[in-house]
Amino acid sequence: MSYALVRPTLVYGEGDVLINNIAWVLRRFPVFAIPGDGAYRVQPVHVEDVASIAVSAGLADGDVAVDAAGPDILRFEALVRILHRAVGSRSMLVKTPAALALAGARVAGFIVKDALLTRGQLDDLRAELLVSGEPPRGTIRFSEWLSQQQAVLGRRYASARTRHQPRPALLQGSNT
């Protein structure tokens, strides 16, 4: 039996958490802390591109391991500035030491009862683990999607914690 391994970079689209919640913070808080210099890169990929890449990989003959990455590579600071403009934010963008950004994320996380940013997530982000070394397979440009979503993006907080908690009804059904 063959396998297909698809490694997505920074997934965005309907129901995403990270991009939506950056926009949510930009809409609601007077300051947005950019950890460190913000020069680390991300490579957003639309969820529909990820699905298409996964189907293609699954249909391939033999074993396949591919990155699912979009056509745009952005510095994190640039990504935040693009979102800042798109949602009409008045937040002040401030580069801060990582520890201060994490402390701010903990305070905001206390308000929403969720973890906005963990040390591990920040380390992965700064290590550029959300960038592929392969040619992009995704075709949907982040800017095109954003122009269609800017009015609704970040209007509601998307909880990562509740999204990853098991649903009791599903667990009860699996015991029979």
Task: Judge contact between 117 and 22, C-beta under 8 A.
Answer: no
The residues spanned by each domain of the chain are 4-174
Q: What is the rounded average pLDDT of the residues 4-10?
A: 97
- Reported as a single tens digit per residue, the pLDDT across 117-149 is 999 999 999 999 999 999 999 999 999 999 999
- Reported as a single tens digit per residue, the pLDDT across 147-172 is 999 999 999 999 876 655 555 555 55
List CB contacts of 20: < 8 A, sequence separation 6 or more: 153, 154, 156, 157, 158
pTM for the model stands at 0.88
Task: Judge contact between 27 and 87, C-beta under 8 A.
Answer: yes
Q: What is the rounded average pLDDT of the residues 78-90?
A: 98
| pLDDT grade for 1, boundaries at 50, 70 and 90 | confident
